[in-house]
């Protein structure tokens, strides 16, 4: 594999918050199809690195290359919920496509795609909750909808920042196989130790 095949190539990433040096030269390489786990105690800098790789936080130093087609090659799921409560479950799952300005498709097709993404995580939710406003959905189930949204986004790289930390363990373990097997989304919370 040449460097041109890598989805993420980060070298010497550094980040400080005030006097606190959080990332001190992190290297990270993610190839298509790989699954990485980023290990470190609370405050080690895992979320900081994920935010830098996904583009929501500026690094102080280091080189970062993201390779992928389309305007949004990365989908991130955080612990904090980012759903729009007044929209339906299906509309929330389809939201990344609307944001990217893809030509409108018929509502039925959009709903079918949302159902397929959600069914990978929870078949009962996909059957029963698709048209309900997110505001009516149980908090645990909202987290599953977040993960389904990332799976359905078509992104090539899926970054999971402990999105199942607050879920009961059967729910959390139910998410792992589908995230790992998710076809186009060669996934990854990342690899290097930052502690
Ligand atoms: N926006 C911020 N402002 C100041 N300090 C921050 C900010 N974000 C993270 N930190 C600090 O950076 C360190 C790493 O945080 P974080 O990346 O969230 O760790 P982890 O995800 O591994 O628990 C912690 O000491 C945290 O307090
Ligand atoms: Mg974190």
Looking at every residue in the chain, the average pLDDT score rounds to 83
Q: How far apart are CA 52 and CA 54, in angstroms?
A: 5
Confidence of residue 161 (pLDDT cuts 50, 70, 90): very high
**108: which 2 tokens?**
């039925």
Choosing from 43, 53, 163, 193 the residue with most ligand 1 atoms within 8 A of its CB, the one to mutate for a pocket test is: 43
% of the chain surpassing 70 pLDDT: 79
| Structure token pair of residue 67 | 């390779």
DSSP 102: P
Ligand 1 atom at shortest distance from the alpha carbon of 195: 22
The protein residue with its alpha carbon nearest to ligand 1, atom 13, reads 43
Cβ of residue 22 lying under 6 Å from some atom of ligand 1: yes
Distance CA 31, CA 66 (A): 11
pLDDT, one tens digit per residue, over 21-41 is: 999 999 999 999 899 999 999
Mean pLDDT, to the nearest integer, of 119-138?
94
- Asked if residues 120 and 78 have their Cβ atoms less than 8 Å apart, the reply is no
Least confident of 108-112, 139-143, 156-160, 173-177: 173-177
Nearest CA to ligand 1 atom 16: 45
**Domains of the chain with bracketed CATH:** 3-181 (3.40.50.300)
pLDDT tens by residue, 46-102: 999 999 999 999 999 999 999 877 667 888 998 888 899 999 999 999 887 765 555
- Amino acid 140: pLDDT: 84
pLDDT recorded at residue 5: 82
Say what the pLDDT of residue 100 is.
55
Is 35 buried (19+), middle (13-18) or exposed (0-12) by CB count in 10 A? middle
Q: In this structure, which long-range contacts are made by residues 121-124, counting pairs with CB atoms below 8 Å and at least 24 apart in sequence?
A: 121/147, 121/148, 121/151, 121/174, 121/175, 121/178, 122/148, 122/174
> Per-residue pLDDT for 105 more than 70?
no
């Amino acid at each position: 594999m040449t460097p041109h095949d890598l989805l993420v190539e980060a070298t010497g990433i550094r980040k400080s918050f005030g006097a606190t040096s959080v990332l001190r030269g992190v290297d990270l390489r993610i190839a298509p199809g790989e699954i990485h786990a980023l290990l470190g105690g609370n405050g080690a800098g895992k979320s900081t690195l994920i935010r830098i790789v996904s583009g929501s936080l500026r690094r102080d130093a280091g080189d970062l290359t993201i390779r992928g087609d389309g305007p949004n090659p990365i989908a991130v799921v955080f612990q904090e919920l980012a759903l729009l409560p007044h929209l339906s479950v299906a509309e929330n799952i389809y939201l990344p496509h609307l944001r990217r300005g893809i030509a409108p498709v018929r509502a039925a097709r959009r709903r079918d795609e949302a159902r397929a993404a959600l069914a990978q995580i929870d078949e009962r939710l996909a059957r029963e909750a698709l048209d309900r406003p997110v505001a009516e959905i149980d908090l645990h189930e909202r987290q599953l909808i977040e993960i389904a949204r990332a799976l359905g986004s078509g992104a090539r790289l899926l970054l999971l920042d402990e999105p199942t930390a607050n879920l009961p363990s059967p729910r959390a373990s139910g998410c792992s196989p589908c995230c790992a097997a998710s076809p186009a989304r060669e996934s990854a919370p990342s690899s290097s130790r930052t502690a």
